[in-house]
Chain A
Amino acid sequence: MGEFFHVPSDLQHSYLGLVGWHLEEALIPVLAGLLLALPLAQLCVRLRWLYPPVLWVTTVLYAIPSLAFFVVLINWTGQSEITVMIPLTLYSLVVLVPAIVDGVRSVPEETHAAATAMGFGPVRRYLQVELPIAVPAIFAGLRVATVSSISLVSVGALIGNQGALGNLLADSMFYHRPILAVSSVVTTAVLAMAVDALLVLCRRLLTPWTPPARERGRGAPVSVPAVAEEAR
Chain B
Amino acid sequence: MIRFESVTKRYPDGTVAVDGLSLEIPDRSITVLVGPSGCGKTTSLRMVNRMIEPSGGRILLDGEDVQQQPVHTLRRSMGYVIQHAGLFPHRTVADNIATVPRLLGWDRRRARSRALELMERVGLDTALARRYPYQLSGGQQQRVGVARALAADPPVLLMDEPFSAVDPIVRKGLQEELLRIQQELGKTIVFVTHDIDEAIRLGDMIAVLRTGGRLAQYAPPDRLLSAPADAFVEDFLGADRGIRRLSFFTSGGLELSSAPVVGEDDAPPDLPTAPYLLVVDGDRRPLGWADPKRRAAGDRTLIPYGRSFPAERGSLREALDSAVLSPTGWAVAVDGDGRAVGVVSQEAVAAAIRAAHAGQGGAPEDAEPAGVR
Contact = CB atoms under 8 A, between A and B. Distances in A.
Interface in B108-157: 132-134, 145, 148
A126 to B, nearest CB: 13
A21 interface: no
A62 interface: no
A118 B89 contact: no
Given A113-B51, A227-B165, A108 B84 contact: yes
Interface residues of B, number: 31
24 contacts: A108-B84, A108-B89, A110-B82, A110-B83, A110-B85, A114-B82, A114-B87, A116-B51, A117-B49, A117-B75, A117-B158, A118-B99, A119-B72, A119-B75, A119-B100, A120-B72, A129-B88, A133-B88, A133-B89, A207-B90, A208-B132, A209-B92, A211-B134, A231-B83
A210 interface: yes
Contacts of B84: 108, 110, 227-228, 231
Contact of A117 (B82, B83, B132, B165): B82
Given A117-B158, A118-B76, 7 more contacts: A110-B86, A111-B86, A111-B88, A113-B51, A118-B103, A132-B90, A208-B132
Interface string B66-110: 000001111110101011111111111000000110010000000
* A112, A114, A133 — most chain B CB neighbours (10 Å): A114
A195 interface: no
Contacts of A231: 83-84
Interface in A183-232: 207-211, 224, 227-228, 230-231
Interface residues of A, number: 27
Contact of B134 (A115, A117, A209): A209
For the complex of A and B, list the 10 residue pairs with the smallest distance between their C-beta atoms, beginning with the closest: A114-B86, A110-B86, A117-B80, A119-B75, A119-B76, A209-B132, A119-B72, A211-B134, A132-B90, A209-B90
Contacts of B71: 119
Interface of B: 49, 51, 71-76, 78, 80, 82-92, 99-100, 103, 132-134, 145, 148, 158, 165
Contacts of A115: 88
A209 B80 contact: no
A18 B78 CA distance: 60
A121 interface: yes
A220 to B, nearest CB: 15
Contacts, number: 76
Given A108-B86, A209-B91, A227-B165, A118 B51 contact: no
Interface string A105-149: 000101111111111110000000100110100000000000000
* B74, B80, B148 — most chain A CB neighbours (10 Å): B80
Contacts of A209: 89-92, 132-134
Contacts of B80: 114, 117-118
A133 B90 CA distance: 6
Nearest to A224: B89
Interface in A82-117: 108, 110-117
A202 B90 CA distance: 15
A210 to B, nearest CB: 7
Contacts of A120: 72, 103
A119 B83 CA distance: 18
A110 to B, nearest CB: 3
A107 to B, nearest CB: 9
Contacts of B49: 117
A115 B158 CA distance: 14
A211 to B, nearest CB: 4
Contacts of A207: 90
A129 B83 CA distance: 18
Contacts of B100: 118-119
Contacts of A208: 132
Given A129-B88, A208-B132, A209-B91, A119 B158 contact: no
Nearest to B89: A209
A119 B76 CA distance: 5
A132 B91 CA distance: 10
A211 B131 CA distance: 11
A111 B89 contact: yes
Nearest to A116: B51
Contacts of B85: 110, 114
B134 to A, nearest CB: 4
Nearest to A212: B134
B144 to A, nearest CB: 11
B339 to A, nearest CB: 44
Contacts of A108: 84, 86, 89
A104 B257 CA distance: 67
Contacts of B99: 118
Contacts of B75: 116-119
B46 to A, nearest CB: 8
